[in-house]
Structure 1
């Protein structure tokens, strides 16, 4: 069961150079602010899209926190923020004020004819700003978001799977996490991950490095899933262990999967995620090397034409045990262990 997706490394290297230029332009347009040093703080509960994934609102909360630090107790006019952003629709300052108030992040000063653009940050807003500052230094969270944001941007920008210039993503407002521009390495790493896993493909464009979202990428976007989450299996799935001649189903048409039909794609996706995130887990150099090595072995094993379920299970369990043995409660480790349980359920039942 070998992988059908191959990387053109020369094209990817070219993409990295072009994206770097785009990121330099984006950095001049949206300067990077210096994150606050903070302790770990729980976030206020908010409905809808997580604040860190909203490129405008996350930047706005950060901007308000910086202004509040310079001018404590003073209301701020959001028109100054929309002017700095440059390309927001007219009247957006009032809309942003209402959104902040709805989420409990700011209080609107209402006077005759003032609209809702004059606000002051609430305690919940202060906590949200501190949480965003902490997330900006979370490498795993940043990279995971870069993958999802780039895929969604490709879907929105190239309707019908049309090719899009990847460097345009670097110039877009979507190229942010927690109010902070994504880096060159994060964008190029995200592109490589999308291509490697079949969510996108590079194309030949003489003007710029271009890429297309694949049908698999479109399906992932429409399902609301993450690039970093194993895809759910469609239809009825029956796991019958040690019963090669058994047939189970609730209809006249069926497919019998014996040893040769073992589908461990969810385990492979998880192993690839482990390989990517392992350097951020703060283990010893030897622990990191062992985890990366085992993840690569697991990927190679699953890519075999007829992988042996017992060996896949044993190696999968071994990696999970190594991760559990690291201890701690980082966001990256929590993510990997949660994804491990999903992969285990999808493949082994």
Structure 2
């Protein structure tokens, strides 16, 4: 198994092949079970209990709203039981009462409260307007792709953040593969894969069938908590690493941009500055004792100062990088720590070339 560098033609063929196979398998599944929406309630962040997020990004609430609209068009004026929605979509872990209450908080439905249940609902005028907005969003290609990029990378990080190769088509079995109450199309995911690979957030793995893996840059983007487009725009602005965060002392490691060095040793300090910036970004997530974390950040600051100096010395770059690597190996076991170790090894390997 080998990780290949991005090749637009090869990756385009890969994406087209799996989209074709995916379409065939989905059509077969639809013939076997034409009612069920193939999603699993395995992603707790998509539960309807999280009131406050946009309705477009909440899989179950958006699906329910569109479903209610279709039912009300067939039976205007009648209350509809949300329990039927839960049953049709096989959402065994979802409470229909909670779903109804959440939509009521948005103002999209009224509930016919009885002593027995609170799942008989009716779409309000505000709800019908929201359905119209959802359908407009479904046709907004830019919005769909932005959402799909973020959702796919977040899913990949949560599922295989240790860079294990995985079939990208598995994304379609998750709640995050829905946007504004409609499934993300295979052609949209095709474009997402090309875009993420082009910007080194995922890598195409030469397996049969073909798979993808998250890259160090992809892990960094996911850990930063922002969206993919912000990460890419930040990289284009000339920053040495993505979304630098202040450490415990309020010092932003890696914030300098567009630094250049003219040194006799022909050392490229970019990887070392990136490593230092990464440590400053994730140090608070490593689960290390406070004293160890402060020492880690101090070494990262020393490394960054050396890497951005007019004439960085290879010996000092190696010294600080080895110190960071040793502290990560001995003091942390998280994915973020593993990512830092890999960045350190890449930087050290560059000194030997």
TM-score of the aligned structures, taking structure 1 as reference length: 0.58
Residue in structure 1 matched with residue 113 of structure 2 by the alignment: 110
- 2:20 aligned with 1:20: yes
Q: 2:82 is matched with which residue: 61, 78, 84?
A: 78
Q: 1:140 is matched with which residue: 126, 138, 142?
A: 142
Whole-Å separation in 2 of the counterparts to 1:201 and 1:238: 28
Q: C-alpha deviations, 1:167-223, integer Å up to 9, x for none?
A: 2123433222211122222111101111111111111332x3211112221222222
Residue in structure 1 matched with residue 215 of structure 2 by the alignment: 214
Gaps of 5+ in 1: 34-45, 245-250, 258-349
Query: Relative to structure 1, is the Cα distance of residues 219 and 237 closer, same or farther in structure 2, using a 3 angstrom cutoff?
Result: closer
Query: Rg bigger for which structure?
Result: 2
Whole-Å separation in 1 of the counterparts to 2:222 and 2:120: 36
Write out aligned runs for 1:145-160 (5 A): 145-160=147-162
- 2:50 aligned with 1:49: no
- Residue 159 of structure 1 deviates from its aligned partner by 4.2
**SS of 1:225 mapped into structure 2:** coil
Whole-Å separation in 1 of the counterparts to 2:213 and 2:166: 6
Whole-Å separation in 2 of the counterparts to 1:91 and 1:47: 15
- Residue 228 of structure 1 deviates from its aligned partner by 1.6
Residue in structure 2 matched with residue 297 of structure 1 by the alignment: none
**SS of 2:162 mapped into structure 1:** helix
Residue in structure 2 matched with residue 225 of structure 1 by the alignment: 226
Whole-Å separation in 2 of the counterparts to 1:228 and 1:125: 31
Residue in structure 2 matched with residue 190 of structure 1 by the alignment: 192
Whole-Å separation in 2 of the counterparts to 1:80 and 1:146: 28
Q: Is the 8 A contact 2:56 2:181 kept in 1?
A: yes
Q: Is the 8 A contact 2:204 2:211 kept in 1?
A: yes
Whole-Å separation in 2 of the counterparts to 1:143 and 1:30: 26
- 2:95 aligned with 1:98: no
**SS of 1:211 mapped into structure 2:** strand
Q: Is the 8 A contact 1:19 1:166 kept in 2?
A: no
Whole-Å separation in 2 of the counterparts to 1:91 and 1:145: 23
Question: Structure with the greater relative contact order (CA < 8 A, sep ≥ 6): 1 or 2?
Answer: 1
**SS of 2:207 mapped into structure 1:** coil
Whole-Å separation in 2 of the counterparts to 1:32 and 1:196: 35
Query: Relative to structure 1, is the Cα distance of residues 31 and 210 closer, same or farther in structure 2, using a 3 angstrom cutoff?
Result: farther
Gaps of 5+ in 2: 38-49, 235-241, 245-251, 263-300, 311-353
Query: Relative to structure 1, is the Cα distance of residues 185 and 32 closer, same or farther in structure 2, using a 3 angstrom cutoff?
Result: farther
Query: Relative to structure 1, is the Cα distance of residues 201 and 171 closer, same or farther in structure 2, using a 3 angstrom cutoff?
Result: same
Residue in structure 2 matched with residue 176 of structure 1 by the alignment: 178
- Residue 24 of structure 1 deviates from its aligned partner by 4.4
Query: Relative to structure 1, is the Cα distance of residues 93 and 32 closer, same or farther in structure 2, using a 3 angstrom cutoff?
Result: closer
Q: CA RMSD in A?
A: 3.2
Q: C-alpha deviations, 1:115-141, integer Å up to 9, x for none?
A: x32211122211111100111111111
Q: Is the 8 A contact 1:5 1:197 kept in 2?
A: no
Counting matched residue pairs gives 232
Query: Relative to structure 1, is the Cα distance of residues 160 and 145 closer, same or farther in structure 2, using a 3 angstrom cutoff?
Result: same
**SS of 1:170 mapped into structure 2:** helix
Write out aligned runs for 1:221-300 (5 A): 221-229=222-230, 230-231=233-234, 233-234=243-244, 235=252, 237=255, 253=305, 255=308
